[in-house]
Amino acid sequence: MFVLGITGGIGSGKSSVAAILRDRGLRVLDADEISREVTSVGGLALDEIREVFGPKAIDSTGAMNRRYISSVVFSDNRKLDLLSSIIHKHVFEYMYAEMEKETAKKTRCIVLDVPIPVKKGFVDHCNSIWVVTCDTDIRVGRLVDRGMDRAEALRRIAVQMTDEEYSELADHVIDNSGTPEELNEQVEKLIVSELHERGIRI
């Protein structure tokens, strides 16, 4: 099974690339979606998060207190890395299980949509990595359009890897600073060169 990894910083549009591939029929495992599941009520990561970040880390419903956690980790890289390591462990365990199921079904290709490209669990499982980059001002604008404060958007971008650091891991870099049509054109070219050439028709 060919494992295609999609990654990039917040607001870059990696999920738009994953959506194009999903619409073409590929199974996409979305790390953000899975992380919400493992930190929601009854989630597998909650006990460790409570132990590390204290009782305030869990809200009155029994889910992770996202507002509190955000205020703690996005101003402290060490704490952000700690939170990420807890959540990633459970996210990748879920992904491994799903990949095994798809392998058993003889699925030809699966997509991992992951914001933070950790080496163990993502890089070492991908046959090809597509990194999505974007002009910082455009990224900030997208995050503001989602309801995020501009200062918060800039802070979140600042604590993530730079586009250059992401690109060092890439087999292919997709610049999403243009129009949706231009993004789609880049993805279509990669579908032909990376997937069709391997006999994966989508």
Query: HSE on the CB side for 154, CA within 13 Å?
Result: 4
- The b-or-e profile of 53-73 (16+ CB within 10 A means b, else e) is beeebbeeeeebbeeebeebb
Number of H helices, E strands in the chain: 9, 5
**Helix (H), strand (E) at residue 3:** strand 2-7
- By the 8 A CB rule, do 132 and 7 touch? yes
Nearest to 110 by CA among 26, 50, 179: 26
Class of domain 2-196: alpha beta
Q: How far apart are CA 202 and CA 196, in angstroms?
A: 8
Res 121: pLDDT? 73
- Locus of tokens 């869990």: 58
Q: Which residues of the chain have pLDDT under 70?
A: none
Q: Where are the alpha helices (H) located in 75-161, listed in sequence order?
A: 77-104, 136-145, 150-159
Q: Using CA atoms, how far apart are residues 91 and 84, in angstroms rounded to an integer?
A: 10
Q: Which two tokens stand for residue 144?
A: 């503001």
Q: Based on the number of CB atoms within 10 Å of its own CB, is 149 exposed (0-12), middle (13-18) or buried (19 or more)?
A: exposed
How, if at all, do strands 27-30 and 109-113 pair?
Answer: parallel
Domain ranges of the chain: 2-196
pLDDT at 120: 74
The pLDDT tens digits of the residues spanning 142-199 come to: 999 999 999 989 988 988 889 899 999 999 999 999 999 999 999 999 999 999 989 9
CA distance 97 to 162: 31
Strand ordering across the sheet containing 109-113: 27-30, 109-113, 2-7, 128-133, 172-175
Q: Are 13 and 134 a contacting pair, CB within 8 Å? A: yes
Q: What is the pLDDT of residue 74?
A: 78
